[in-house]
Structure formats: C-alpha cells, structure tokens
Structure 1
Amino acid sequence: MLEESLRRRAILSSYLGWVLDGYDALLITPIMPLLGDLFFPGPYSFLGGLSTLVATLIGRPLGSVAMGYVGDKLGRRIGLLITVLGYSLAALAMAVMPTYNEVGIIAPLSLLTLRFIQGIFLGGEWGPGTAMIMEWSKWRSEWASAFVQSGYPIGVVMATLVYTGFTSFINQPAFSKVWWRVYIATGIVAAVIAFLIRSRLMESPLWRKPRGNPLTLLFKLRGRSLGMGIMFTGGLLTIYYSTYLIYSELLAYIGKPWLIPSVMLAATVAAVAAVLLAGPLSFVINYKWVVVITLALSLAFAPYALMINPSFTSLVALAFIENFAMGLVPHALVSKFEPEYRASGLGIAYNWGLLIGGWAPMLVGLIRPMNLGMLVMMVVGVLLAVAGILLLATEHPKH
C-alpha cells in the first residue's frame, strides 16, 4: 500500500510539470501584444512582445541539458524540485515587475531575462519528469507514454479556459494596468501544488548514481540515437507549430476571427483524445506504424483542412489526426537511453527538437498565402518525423 501511494505521488507530481509547460505556452501567447506595449513601447512593440516567446524558446534547450544532468547525477527528485521552484519564482517575479513607464530600459531587459529563466526550468521538466513517470509506472510503456504526453494539451486547455474567463477584461484599461499581473500569476497556483507534492517525493526505483558524467555517457554511447530522436521530435514539433498552435492566426488571416475561441478549445480537446488513444492503438499496431500512418493521413487531409475548406470541423479533425504521433514520443525514446543518462537523453531529444520546430511559425509567415505556408512546413515536418521514427526504431540500447 505504501509503495502504491509513493508511485501515485511520483507520477502525479511529474505529470503536473508537463501540464504547467502547456499552460505557460498558451497563457502568454494571447497577451504578447500587450506585453509589447507595456515593456517595449514604440514602433517595435510587436517584435518586443514576440521576443518574450523567443526568449523562452532559447532557454529550453539549455534547461534540458542542465536539468537532465541534475536528474541523472543527483536524482530525478532533485531535478524536479529545482525546475518547479525556478519556474514559480520566475512567474511570480514577472507578475510583480514594473513596466517601461516606471523603470525604463530595465523593464524589457528584466522581462526577457525572466522569460529566458522560465525557459530553462520549463525545458528542464520533460527529461527528469518523463523518466520518473516511465520508471515508476507499472503500465505498458505505450500507455504510460500517452499519459505523459496528455499533460501538455491539458495544460493548454486549462490556459484556454483561463483566457476565456479573462476575455471581458482583456480590452479594458484595468487589464493593462493590473489584471494582466493576476492573469500571469495564475500559473503559480499549480506550480505551488506541484512543489508541495514533490517535496515528499521518493526517488525513482531505477535511478542509480552514474559511473561518470551522464552527458559524456549519453553522447559517447547513444549519440546516434539522440540524433534520430531530435529528428523525430523536431519533425513533430514542426507540424505542431505550423498547424494547430497557430490556428488563431490562420482564422484571423482568412477573415473568420469569431471561430478562434471555439476552434482552439475544440482542437486542443481533440489533441488530448488523440494522444490518449495512441497508447491502446499501439497495442494492436506497432507504434512506429501508428506514427507513420497517422502522419501520412494528416498530410493527405491537410490540403482540404488548411486551404480548400478551413472550417471548424476540418481544423479540429486535422488536430486530432496529427496528434496521435505525439502520444508515442516517450515510448519511442525511453528504451534508447539507459537510466544513468535517461533524463539527459529524453530532455535533449525533445527540447533540441523544439529548436527545429519552434521556428515554424516564423517560416510560415514568410510564405503567402499563409495556409500554403502552413502546408509547406507540415510537409517538411512529416518527412522529418517519419525518417526519424523509422531510423530510431532500428536503434538498440548499448550497455
């Protein structure tokens, strides 16, 4: 009974970190123009607001290395305590910091620094957290993988609901003066809960102090697997960032802004369903073929959904089909990395893939019409992901 309680606590606390990651991703995006006005006033305020997202993107790969190392060298538990503490303190600092009109140039520099720090700690979550869940779980790896990945879109759903709750304030003067601080601070609540649970966390049953530097072991023994993993996740994240993450921009571009709230919420719920269904589906069909088939189907459907008839139904359906592959990322990666360098391997494989996929929205913006740009980047993402998963499936752990 005690062991079962410890197992549930370990899984829940690690899962909350991935929920927080998804929550942060969507929470900041809708208010980037406001952050630009408050911290980067002038002709470059739009770029200033966008830079808050870029600062986090840059911090994530660094965080995956640093916190992956901590998760392997000192234990998953220590790594997870550091990440949630760092994220929550950075979010709190952002919620109370003065704006440009109050302190001048210090304000934008401080904001970008805090967003970079948040990126480090959020980027450090996935490696130790996923290792903790996969190592404590008694479920089949495919199902545990789907469970892990459902945390991010659930965080996005939560952020969407919070944003909807604040909608009536968004365009009011009171929001730009005070309520934006409350809006940002909402993420601290879940972070505090996660920290309290993690403070009583037991270490992973598979963790042992590594016989050397875990990063050295990772690159020496599993460098090829790491490269294939980055190709795989980079392709998936290219698809993600060039399609349903920017549905709101597409709908505004084609003159259907009234569909944005309903499409974003429904598409994210569809993504959660697809991620969870990927686990049991791969009990029947080998996981690599689940990835290949669903990505091929999504690419075949994309021209209709993005260009011919970008409607509520077609966009939600596309989000559903393309997210099956996301549910199998931990399963595809976890067996490639031994426990002594697993947190590092998982974290780097995912977050360095983000360095590839995270630039997709900008590349989409360089192509006109926008929906053609989305389709082009999706083709690139599918090719990368399919090549990555097929090559990764041929890799076997080295002892």
Structure 2
Amino acid sequence: MTTSYDLHARAHDAGSQRSLRSVVFASTIGTIIEWYDFLIYGMAAALVFNKLFFPSIDPLLGTLAALGSYAVGFLARPLGGAIFGYFGDRLGRKSILMLTLVMMGLGTFLIGVLPTYAQIGIWAPILLISLRFIQGIGLGGEWGGASVMVLEHAPKEHRGLYGSLVQVGFPIGLVVATLVFGVIAKMPEADILAWGWRVPFLISAVLILLGMFIRSNVSESPVFEEMKARREIVSNPVKEAIFKHPRSFLVAVGLKISEVSWVYMLTVFVVVYATGTLKLPKSMILDAILVAAAVELITIPLFGFLSDRIGRRPLYFIGAIFTLAFAFPLFWLLEMRTPEIVMLTIVVAMSLGHGLMFAPESTYFPELFGANVRYSGASFGFQVAAALGGGFAPVLATALAGYMGGTAGVSVMLIVLALITLVAAMFARETKNEALLK
C-alpha cells in the first residue's frame, strides 16, 4: 500500500519539483487576484460607495450601509467554502479552483459597470449587494482549494513555508489594490465619483484571464489521486468535517477570528476612522497600508518558515498576546497624526497582529483534517471565522466609534476576539510532523 511517506518521496524528483513550483505559482497568482478583487470592494466601500449607492441617508448611516454591503461578501464566504469544499473533496481540487476564479472575477467586473443610485435608484444598491454576494461565494471556495493543492504537493519538512506562499497572495493583492486606489485617490473627487472608482474593478478582467491560463496547466493533487484510488472519498465531506471532527472545526474558527478581525480593522475601519474622525489625508493612510503590505511580503514567508521549525501553535500564542497588548496603543498612536508614527504603527500592527497568525493558516488548517474532508473542513472553518470576525468587525467598530465618540469600545472588542484565539490555540494540536494521508 502506498503511504504519504511514499508520496512525499516522489515529490523530490525533478518532475515533481517542477510540478510543485507550478502549483505554488498557480495557487499564489490565483489568491493575488482573488484578494485584489475582494479588497478593492472594501476600499471603495470605505471611500466612495456611501455617496454613490447609499446617498439618501446621513453620513454615518451611509458609511454603515456601505460597510454593511461589504459584510455581505463575508456572509457568502462560508456558503462558498461549503459548496466548493464539498465538490473539491469529491471531484478533485484543480477543476474547482478554475470555477472559483471565474465566479469571483465576473462579480468584480460587473460591479465596475454598475449604474449608481442617481441613475437607477434603489436597484443600484440591490445589484451591488447581489454581486458582492457572488464575490464572497467565489472567494469562499478559492482559499481552501489553493491551500490544499500546495499542501498536498509540498515536501513534509517545508509544508509551512510553501503554504505561506499562498498567503502572500493577500499582501500582494493588497499592494496592487492600494496602489490602484492610491492613484484614484489623487484624482479630483468629482472624477472619482464620476468614473474613477470603476477602474480598479474593470482591471480585474485582465487578471482573471491571466489566472485561468496559469491554472489550466497545473496537475491534480497526488494525495487526492491516491485517496481516490483507495476509494476513500466520502459522500458528504462537509457534514463529516463538522460532526466527525468538531474539535478541529471549532479550533480552526477560533484560531482565525482574531487575525481576520484585526486585518480588516486595519484595512477598512482604520481608513474610515483616520480619514473621517482624525481628518488624515487619504493618501497618508493608503500609503501606510501599502508599506505594511509590502513588509508582509517578507514577514509572511519568514513566519511560514518558522512554523516548520518551531511548530504552528506557538505563532498563534505570540500573535494573540501581541493583539491583547496592542489593542489600545494602536489608536493612541494613530491619534498622534504624525505620518512616520502612523506608518510604523500600521506596519507593526499588520505583521504581528495579522501576518504572524495568517502565515501558517494555509498549512495548519488543512492539516487539522483528514484528506477526505480536508478541503471542506479547512474552507468552511476559515470562512465561518472570516464571516464573523472580518465581515462584522469593521461595521461594529464604526458603530461603536460613532455612537460612543471614541475607540475604547473598539479596542475592547479586539481584546475579546484575541482571547478567543488564545483559547483555541490552547485546545489545538501541533501538526507539523503529521502525515497527510494515513
């Protein structure tokens, strides 16, 4: 009988090394595109959608409505994780990844050609929210498939490092999205509202075609092929992942919830708070996010490498403790309004409150589940936490800051979420030395 050891031994020959590089590149380029698509919506929601699609209510409620439409994409992500996880565990990883890319890209492109509220009234926000929902379903299935593909091709001793390269798609997507919106933000506001906001969404069409071409040439996961040969495919992998592996599922949700809330606070709420309440220039905060994302291009692979040396769990303990300690200082430092301090604050907060825990996720979460439910368990657990922490955190934070007149409530919320992750890390098991197929 072939074992996972045999599969990894084969991965060291020249052909498998080429295949591994192709899979890593295809998965990373896909996640870059997916995160770019998802993040430009968040930036547009923070900066212009309250005026274009929700203009008939007061400014605070308009911003909350725009961020609420942003949250819809997060609510759709668990559905996407369940749907595509189910088929990914039953039919294979590769074909599902092509479909998620198309769905995400189509939703993004169509947002770029939407009429605004001034042109078609209430149908504008309805269509916007519908397309956001489609975006969320696509991303819900994308991350898990890309992570599992890389994990199941990678040699055992370097799974954390290779998996972290999938996660690099997030800061690269953020860099590209921020650069594009940075250019747009320098335009006259009338031009931004008239047509400039559409450009980032329309650009995604070119990126999607590139991603589809690259992904069409990768090979199927050897672990899935072996599992299929053993006839170990289960009839309902989503159900089995939740009810036969409840501890792994709950641990995955808990590990994710602090990190995802933290990063979307930095990239969405902080943009609203800094440009609105603190009256900082849009360019200053966007530049700080850009530099922070660029730094993560280094720190995420570094943390992935460390997870192969010291394990996955220690990174979550360190990241959660940092978040607990930095939840209040984050806003105290931003309120100093000094460009250098604002930038350094965002850079440190991004790498240590986000990257430290984000880096091992694409390896750790799939490792928590057996091969026959791996896509479903990793995707659904990741996306449930993303919906709870990422979708609602910016909305709740905006409401807390608006109605309480300060950020103390926001900091307390971040501390509570960090405590949840800390508890999850205590109940998690270490997986760095476990076989992928037993």
Corresponding residue for 2:257? 234
Q: Is residue 37–residue 104 contact of structure 2 (8 Å, CA) maintained in 1?
A: no
Residue of structure 2 aligned with 1:376, choices 398, 412, 430: 412
Distance 1:131 1:84 in 2: 16
Question: Structure 1 residues 140, 246: CA separation in 2 closer, same or farther (over 3 Å shift)?
Answer: same
Q: Shift of the alpha carbon at 1:398?
A: 11
Q: Is residue 147–residue 363 contact of structure 2 (8 Å, CA) maintained in 1?
A: no
Matched, 1:336 2:359: no
| TM-score after normalising by structure 2 | 0.83
User: Paired residues, what number?
Assistant: 398
Q: Is residue 157–residue 265 contact of structure 1 (8 Å, CA) maintained in 2?
A: yes
Residue of structure 2 aligned with 1:299, choices 314, 324, 338: 324
Q: Shift of the alpha carbon at 1:97?
A: 3.1
Corresponding residue for 1:278? 303
Distance 1:201 1:164 in 2: 34
Corresponding residue for 2:42? 29
Distance 1:240 1:6 in 2: 32
Distance 2:265 2:122 in 1: 33
- Relative to structure 2, which stretch is displaced further, 66-75 or 184-193? 184-193
Question: Structure 1 residues 377, 136: CA separation in 2 closer, same or farther (over 3 Å shift)?
Answer: same
Corresponding residue for 1:60? 77
Q: Shift of the alpha carbon at 1:69?
A: 0.9
Question: Structure 1 residues 59, 170: CA separation in 2 closer, same or farther (over 3 Å shift)?
Answer: farther
Question: Structure 1 residues 243, 88: CA separation in 2 closer, same or farther (over 3 Å shift)?
Answer: closer
Q: Is residue 250–residue 370 contact of structure 1 (8 Å, CA) maintained in 2?
A: no
Q: Is residue 37–residue 108 contact of structure 2 (8 Å, CA) maintained in 1?
A: no
Q: Shift of the alpha carbon at 1:262?
A: 2.5
Matched, 1:259 2:290: no
Matches within 5 A, 1:29-178: 29-32=42-45, 33-43=47-57, 45-138=62-155, 140-169=158-187, 171-173=189-191, 175-178=192-195
Q: Quick one: which amino acid aligns to residue 346 of structure 2? A: L
Residue of structure 1 aligned with 2:394, choices 350, 357, 361: 361
Deviation digits for residues 249-285 of structure 1 (CA, Å, limit 9, x no counterpart): 3433334336313222122223333322212233443
Question: Structure 1 residues 164, 243: CA separation in 2 closer, same or farther (over 3 Å shift)?
Answer: closer
Deviation digits for residues 294-334 of structure 1 (CA, Å, limit 9, x no counterpart): 43234324433432565222332222222212111223222
Distance 1:3 1:170 in 2: 52
Question: Structure 1 residues 79, 309: CA separation in 2 closer, same or farther (over 3 Å shift)?
Answer: closer
Q: Shift of the alpha carbon at 1:245?
A: 4.6
Q: Quick one: which amino acid aligns to residue 16 of structure 1? A: I
Question: Structure 1 residues 271, 5: CA separation in 2 closer, same or farther (over 3 Å shift)?
Answer: closer
Q: Shift of the alpha carbon at 1:205?
A: 0.9
Corresponding residue for 1:213? 236
Distance 1:87 1:393 in 2: 33
Q: Shift of the alpha carbon at 1:170?
A: 5.5
- Relative to structure 2, which stretch is displaced further, 93-102 or 51-60? 93-102
Q: Shift of the alpha carbon at 1:2?
A: 4.6
Distance 1:398 1:221 in 2: 17
Identity of aligned residues (%): 27
Structure 1: runs of 5+ lacking an equivalent:
none
Q: Is residue 85–residue 376 contact of structure 2 (8 Å, CA) maintained in 1?
A: yes
Matched, 1:346 2:382: no
Q: Is residue 34–residue 104 contact of structure 2 (8 Å, CA) maintained in 1?
A: no
Question: Structure 1 residues 398, 378: CA separation in 2 closer, same or farther (over 3 Å shift)?
Answer: farther
Question: Structure 1 residues 308, 126: CA separation in 2 closer, same or farther (over 3 Å shift)?
Answer: closer
Q: Is residue 76–residue 204 contact of structure 1 (8 Å, CA) maintained in 2?
A: yes
Structure 2: runs of 5+ lacking an equivalent:
1-13, 336-340
- Relative to structure 2, which stretch is displaced further, 297-306 or 203-212? 297-306
Deviation digits for residues 172-228 of structure 1 (CA, Å, limit 9, x no counterpart): 33x433333322111222221111122233211111441322123222321221111
Distance 2:328 2:295 in 1: 19
